[in-house]
Amino acid sequence: MAETEGKIVDNKQIIFKGYIEGPPKETDMELRLGKKIKLEAPKGSGAFLVKNLYLSCDPYMRGRMRASQDSYIPPFAPGSRRDPKLQSFEQLNQKARDPVFQFFGLIRSGLPFPVEAGEKVASLPRVPGKKEFVLFDLRLWGSELLLHPFARIKVVEGFGVSKVLDSDNPNFKAGDIVSGFTGWEEYSLIHESPQLRKVEPNDMPLSYYLGLLGMPGFTAYVGFYQVCAPKKNEFVFVSAASGAVGQLVGQLAKLYGCYVVGSAGTSQKVDLLKDKLGFDDAFNYKEEPDLDAALKRCFPQGIDIYFENVGGPMLEAVLLNMRLHGRIAVCGMVSQHGTSDPQGIKNLFSLVSKRVRMQGFLQSDYLRLFSRFLEDVTGLYKQGKITYLEDMNEGLESGPSAFVGLFSGKNVGKQVIRVAPE
């Protein structure tokens, strides 16, 4: 039995206040004190209660702050429509085994305890294709648990590293460290899912499971090796190169025998790329009046591989400088986040004339390779062949500021929030 089992505590949460247009602001979120909770996993739920230690700030989360349903990931603020097929907690658990539910791995972060009639208990996306959330109240009806709609729950959610406090799941026990999807709050109730992983002791910093050994690192790994399909001595360009993904892409490319140049938005970041991360060259794109000229200066023979993180004018300039049969891996386009008038891209005919392959991808398409990734990258780090930069913010209350800073280039390295001591 866990030492904390049965203890009743407060649960601070970061709440998403409503859909937004334009860049995110700190005032779009707020810290609030949630309802007191009892530190127990409900019997029969198959869930486990965790204390969140580290939370990840990632650009994709901006897409969840809009009402649009045309994304691969549902928005933060769900609707409140009842699904009549879900009539019991057992059926809820069965529904949660669907692939879409498994990706997110939550029944409900911050489940209130003790369970009483009227408690808010669940937030579930519907079947694939519907792209909407279903929210429920818990009602006691004899021995049956019935689920009914209630007002929106808007706790911000994302990747985190957490410590299990109590478990109703045989695969997890109190004291285990897990990495996966969780709420931006002190305590969360989560379920097992394909994206949820137990962290085995290996002397690696736990926060690295949100960056180097987490979703950003895996994105870099599969994006470079699988999508870019590199060859030795090729010319590689990485935008947003000091960020959570770009810094690892550049180091993997160097280890592969490529010539690597990165772009960043400050002189400090440019120096880090060259002096600490081992890039052959780097430039501050904000100080370049002509990006095409900057790329021709860095790549007089052209670019074989472009790892795309920003979009906009940088992509337009890259298209003019690609070599025959080059590859562009589209990981993200941070310059287009939050804009109400997305920029059209010029120079696309270069894809035809130079036979360039341009491919978007999601790391979740390659989960079969995750074990190999962990082994390879952990080994490289322990051998001193790669390093990783983090920007650590202290306290849950720092979450809104840390997240908003991603879109102005405030962070240096992977942005992480330390919620509680290990």
Give pLDDT tens digits for 168-187: 999 999 999 999 989 999 99
pTM, entire model: 0.79
Assigned architecture for domain 215-365: 3-Layer(aba) Sandwich (3.40)
- pLDDT (tens digit, 9 = 90+) per residue, 146-158? 333 322 347 888 9
- Give the best-scoring range by mean pLDDT among 87-101, 109-123, 155-169, 256-270: 256-270
Higher pLDDT, 333 or 115: 333
Structural contact between residues 395 and 419, judged by C-beta atoms closer than 8 angstroms: yes
| 173: number of Cβ within 10 Å | 13
Fold matches, 8-211+392-418 and 215-365: no
pLDDT of residue 165: 96
- Read off the pLDDT of each residue in 64-90 and give the average, rounded to a whole number: 51
The radius of gyration of the chain from alpha carbons, rounded to an integer in Å, stands at: 22
- Domain 8-211+392-418, CATH: 3.90.180.10
Higher pLDDT, 98 or 267: 267
pLDDT of residue 267: 96
| 320: number of Cβ within 10 Å | 16
Structural contact between residues 263 and 236, judged by C-beta atoms closer than 8 angstroms: no
pLDDT of residue 192: 76
Say yes or no to pLDDT of 101 above 90: no
> What mean pLDDT is reported for the chain?
81
Helix (H) or strand (E) holding 141: strand 133-141
122-131, 208-217, 362-371: segment of lowest average pLDDT: 122-131
Say yes or no to pLDDT of 318 above 80: yes
Tokens (6 digits) for 233: 């001595």
Structural contact between residues 31 and 397, judged by C-beta atoms closer than 8 angstroms: yes
Say yes or no to pLDDT of 400 above 90: yes
Q: Where in the chain are the domains?
A: 8-211+392-418, 215-365
- Read off the pLDDT of each residue in 129-156 and give the average, rounded to a whole number: 38
